[in-house]
């Protein structure tokens, strides 16, 4: 553990310390300051990076002095260095997200649910290289996503349910890490009840990890879509998205055929990073066909070698 020195930081919310003051720690090894944040009631408190604390206070500046109290409820931090990894601003009285959000360099989850007054996103969000989850559900004034959304190369979950979003930008096809896209209750589903929009098909084709799309029951019986998503799940599980794919050894083919069906099986509910989505089902024979199709060279080689041995 790195050596720390502690001093009193005046003017901050009441601490759970014996003297009622906020303790400021300076980590000599990392050269960053941290403070201890505690609730008004209860004994649980946690350490937060001082710069991140100031950034969140600025984001919540419309609350004045009350902003300092909101920090505890709005953030979650990394236990090792105190950097903010989650920022939850759900249902707060915020008209716009401050560009200073880019300073939260370790932020992984950004939740802006039920912010009815937000009609655009600051382009500084694209600088959040660690961002994995962006939730914009019930942001009804948000009519479109910016083109730079495709620059979020590490984003895994994008929740747009019941938002005002009416279309998806083509740049989203660059989001190679995207695993889950939630579209329930949007015009994108309501306006195309029989088949997904062309951009969604393009996303499924280009974003090979995209294995779950939430759209309530609109496309529940669309077998083509369900199979395409299941194929992505299959490729992700078997490493077929890797640049170099290893050949399946002959002795492993029986096991490979047996496990190939897992991403295609019927489940009562699908969960991706905490998001519960509709069930899906693909026939077992189709999943086995997909494995043989994607590893055809290895499969044919196994058959040739087997026949040669006999």
Structural domain boundaries in the chain = 89-219, 222-310
- For the cut 60, the answer to whether the pLDDT of residue 20 exceeds it is no
How far is 272 from 194, CA to CA, in rounded Å?
Answer: 25
* Segment 281-295, tens digit of pLDDT: 556 666 667 667 766
Q: Which residues of 72-110 are buried (b: 16+ CB within 10 A; e: fewer)?
A: bebbebbeebbbbbbbbbeebebeebbebbbbbebbbbb
- The CATH number assigned to the domain with range 89-219 reads 3.80.10.10
| Reported confidence tier of residue 209, pLDDT bands at 50, 70, 90 | confident
- Contact between 51 and 102 (Cβ < 8 Å): no
Q: Is the pLDDT of residue 21 over 50?
A: no
Which pLDDT score, from 0 to 100, does residue 189 have?
A: 80
Averaged confidence pLDDT in the chain: 75
In angstroms, the CA 287 to CA 95 distance is 48
Residue 28 predicted with pLDDT over 60: no
Backbone φ and ψ for 117, nearest 5 degrees, come out as -90, -15
Average of per-residue pLDDT across 56-70: 87
pLDDT in tens, 74-86: 999 998 899 999 9
Closest CA to 117 of 151, 145, 140, 147: 140
Range 176-182 average pLDDT: 86
Dig out the tokens for 240 from the structure.
């077929």
What average pLDDT score do residues 193-206 get? 80
**Residues of the chain above pLDDT 70, percent:** 62
């Amino acid at each position: 553990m790195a050596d720390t020195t502690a001093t009193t930081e005046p003017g901050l919310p009441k601490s759970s310390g014996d003297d009622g003051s906020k303790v400021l720690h300076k980590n000599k090894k990392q050269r960053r300051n941290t403070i201890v944040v505690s609730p008004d009631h209860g004994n649980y408190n946690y350490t937060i990076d001082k710069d991140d604390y100031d950034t969140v206070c600025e984001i919540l500046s419309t609350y004045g002095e009350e902003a300092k109290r909101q920090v505890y409820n709005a953030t979650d931090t990394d236990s090792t260095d105190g950097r903010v990894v989650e920022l939850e601003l759900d249902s707060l009285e915020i008209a716009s997200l401050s560009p200073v959000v880019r300073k939260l360099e370790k932020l992984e989850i950004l939740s802006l649910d039920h912010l009815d007054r937000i009609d655009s996103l600051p382009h500084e969000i694209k600088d959040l290289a660690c961002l994995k989850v962006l939730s914009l559900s019930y942001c009804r004034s948000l009519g479109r996503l910016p083109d730079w959304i495709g620059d979020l190369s590490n984003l895994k979950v994008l929740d747009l349910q019941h938002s005002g979003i009416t279309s998806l930008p083509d740049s989203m096809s660059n989001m190679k890490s995207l695993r889950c896209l939630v579209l329930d209750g949007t015009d994108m589903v309501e306006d195309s009840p029989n088949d997904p929009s062309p951009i969604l098909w393009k996303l499924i084709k280009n974003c090979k990890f995209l294995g779950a799309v939430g759209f309530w029951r609109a496309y529940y019986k669309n077998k083509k879509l369900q199979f395409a998503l299941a194929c992505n799940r299959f490729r992700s599980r078997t490493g077929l998205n890797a640049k170099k794919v290893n050949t399946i050894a002959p002795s492993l083919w029986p096991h490979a055929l047996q496990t190939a069906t897992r991403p295609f099986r019927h489940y009562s509910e699908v969960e991706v990073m905490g998001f519960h989505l509709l069930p899906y089902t693909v026939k077992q024979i189709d999943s086995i066909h997909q494995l043989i199709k994607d590893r055809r060279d290895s499969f044919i080689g196994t058959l040739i070698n087997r026949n040669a041995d006999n």
